[in-house]
Amino acid sequence: MGSQNKKPIIQKRKAYKRNKTFFAALFNAFNGIWIMISRERNFRIHIVIALLVLWVGIYFHLSRSDWLWVTVGVFFAIVAEILNTIIEAIVDLTVGDRYDDLAKLAKDVAAAGVVFAVFIEFTILAIILQPYFWVWLGIHNLFNY
C-alpha cells in the first residue's frame, strides 16, 4: 500500500549484540515502537484513533468494563498493524524486489488481517460508545442499555 518511497528496513549489514539484560530487550522493544511510529503511516492513524478514543472515553466517564472493551478493540487493531509490518519485512527480506505470487499473497492476506481487526475495533467502539453518544445527544430509548 504505497511504500515505493520507503527506505528498506535493512540497508546494509551491521553487527548486532544479543540482549544481555531485560532492560536492553525493553529498549529494543521501544525502538520497535519508534520504528512503527516513524515509518508506518497507517500505524500513526491507529495511534490518532487511540488518542481520540481515550479523549472521548475520559469525556464520557466510561465504566470500567467499557474501558476494558475499548482497550481490547484499539490494541487489537494496533497489534494487527504490527504483525502486518513484520510480515512485509520478512517478505521483503526473503524476495527483495523480485515479483513473487506468494509474496503478494502474504502481504495481501496480512493487510486483510488488519482490515478485519479494524472492523472488530470499530464494531466494539460503536457498541460501547453508542449509548454514551445518544445520552449526550439527548436521545433516550431502549438502545441506551
Ligand X SMILES: Nc1ncnc2c1ncn2[C@@H]1O[C@H](COP(=O)(O)OP(=O)(O)OP(=O)(O)O)[C@@H](O)[C@H]1O
CB nearer to ligand X: give 25 or 79.
79
How far, rounded to the nearest angstrom, does the alpha carbon of residue 7 sit from its chain's CA centroid? 21
The one catalytic residue in 57, 74, 77, 81 is 81
Query: How many angstroms separate the CA atoms of 84 and 128, rounded?
Result: 27
Query: How many angstroms separate the CA atoms of 13 and 9, rounded?
Result: 11
Query: How many angstroms separate the CA atoms of 109 and 105, rounded?
Result: 6
**For residue 93, what is its C-alpha cell?**
527480506
108 is in an annotated binding site: yes
**Number of residues located near ligand X, criterion CB under 6 A:** 15
13 is in an annotated binding site: no
Query: How many angstroms separate the CA atoms of 143 and 126, rounded?
Result: 12
The neighbour count for residue 90, using CB atoms within 10 Å, is: 13
Q: Shortest Cβ distance from residue 5 to ligand X (Å)?
A: 10
Q: Shortest Cβ distance from residue 108 to ligand X (Å)?
A: 5
Is 81 catalytic? The answer is yes
Query: How many angstroms separate the CA atoms of 10 and 17, rounded?
Result: 16
Q: Which 80-119 residues touch ligand X, going by CB under 6 A? A: 84, 88, 95, 99-100, 103-104, 107-108, 111
Q: Any contact of residue 43 with ligand X (CB under 6 A)?
A: no
Residues that bind ligand X (CB under 6 A): 1-3, 40, 42, 84, 88, 95, 99-100, 103-104, 107-108, 111
Summarize the annotated binding site for substrate as residue ranges: 18, 81
Q: Where in the sequence numbering do the catalytic residues fall? A: 81
Summarize the annotated binding site for ATP as residue ranges: 18, 40, 88, 107-108
